[in-house]
């Protein structure tokens, strides 16, 4: 007979929470909300700017998490990556929607006022994660950083990014990719 001695308990495991949420566990969903709503809201707000729209999209994303929890595949990536990918997709769809057109045109017109280094660096407070992201963004070339941050934090398509940076399409798409490769390695992201 093997005597049972359980493995040690650690902090909340998001994969376990999602598995419970998939079975309709509302308590688990509440805990999952507490773990991911801040990143979701922060990212969405970064892309959309408008607080009211950002709340709406955050709510949509969280309901989508509830609805599709059973489709999350733990071997395909972390929960945070799954949730933030959904959040970003929705924020980008919203920013590119018809309602946002006017605002967008203004923003494209105002591109000469674009900061040389996207505000990510300026907003950074002491948190370790932010520090690390900031440090890794600094390791990119100017064009790589602009390509990645304009697409990700502002929700621009790579064609718009090319237009804004007056760079050829092929170059922008390559810079996005090799910028992300550098970030991936710098942040120690593993598949």
Partner 1 sequence: MTGGAELHTLTGAYAAHALDGPERAEFERHLALCEACALEVREFAATLARLGAAEAETPPAELRARVMSGIGSVRQLAPPSAVVPVVPQPTGRRRRSRLVRHWPKLALAASVALAAALGGLAVDQSRRADEADARATQLQAQQAVFGSLLTAPDARTATATAGTGVGTVVWSQSRGQAGFLASGMPALPAGKTYELWFDDAGTMRPAGLLPASSGSLLLQGPLDGAVGVGVTVEPAGGSAHPSSTPVMLLPFS
Cβ contact 61:83 at 8 Å: yes
CB of 113 to partner 1, least distance (A): 21
Count of residues that interact with partner 1, criterion CB under 8 A: 96
The correct pick among 48, 53, 140, 148 for binding partner 1 (CB under 8 A) is 148
Would you say how long the chain is, in residues? 191
Is residue 58 a contact residue for partner 1 (CB under 8 A)?
Answer: yes
DSSP letter string over 52-93? HHHHHHHHHHHHHHHHHGGG--GGG--HHHHHHHHHHHHHHH
- Residue 89, both tokens: 């997709």
Q: Is 140 in the site for partner 1 (CB under 8 A)?
A: no
- Using rule CB under 8 A, residue 112 touches partner 1: no
Cα-trace Rg, the chain: 19
Q: Tell me the closest approach of the beta carbon of residue 80 to partner 1, in angstroms.
A: 5
Stretch that binds partner 1, among 98-106, 109-117, 155-163 (CB under 8 A): 155-163
Q: Is 46 in the site for partner 1 (CB under 8 A)?
A: yes
- Give whole-number Cα distances, 188 to 7, 74, 130, 135, in Å: 27, 19, 14, 13
Q: Judged by CB under 8 A, which of 48, 53, 87, 94 binds partner 1?
A: 87
CB of 116 to partner 1, least distance (A): 18
């Amino acid at each position: 007979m093997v005597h049972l001695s359980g493995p040690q308990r650690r902090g909340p495991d998001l994969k376990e929470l999602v598995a419970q949420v998939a079975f309709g566990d509302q308590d688990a969903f509440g805990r999952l909300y507490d773990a991911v709503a801040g990143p979701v809201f922060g990212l969405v707000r970064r892309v959309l700017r408008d607080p009211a729209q950002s709340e709406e999209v955050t709510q949509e994303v969280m309901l989508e998490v509830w609805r599709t929890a059973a489709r999350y595949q733990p071997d395909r990536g972390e929960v945070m990556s799954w949730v933030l990918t959904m959040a970003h997709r929705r924020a980008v769809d919203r920013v590119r929607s018809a309602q946002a057109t006017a605002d967008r045109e203004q923003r494209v017109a105002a591109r000469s006022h674009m900061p040389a280094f996207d505000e990510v660096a300026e907003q950074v407070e002491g948190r370790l994660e932010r520090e690390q992201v900031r440090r890794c963004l600094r390791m990119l070339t100017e064009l790589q950083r602009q390509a990645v941050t304009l697409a990700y934090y502002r929700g621009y398509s790579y064609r718009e990014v090319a237009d804004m940076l007056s760079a050829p399409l092929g170059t922008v798409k390559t810079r996005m990719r090799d910028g992300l490769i550098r970030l991936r390695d710098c942040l120690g992201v593993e598949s």
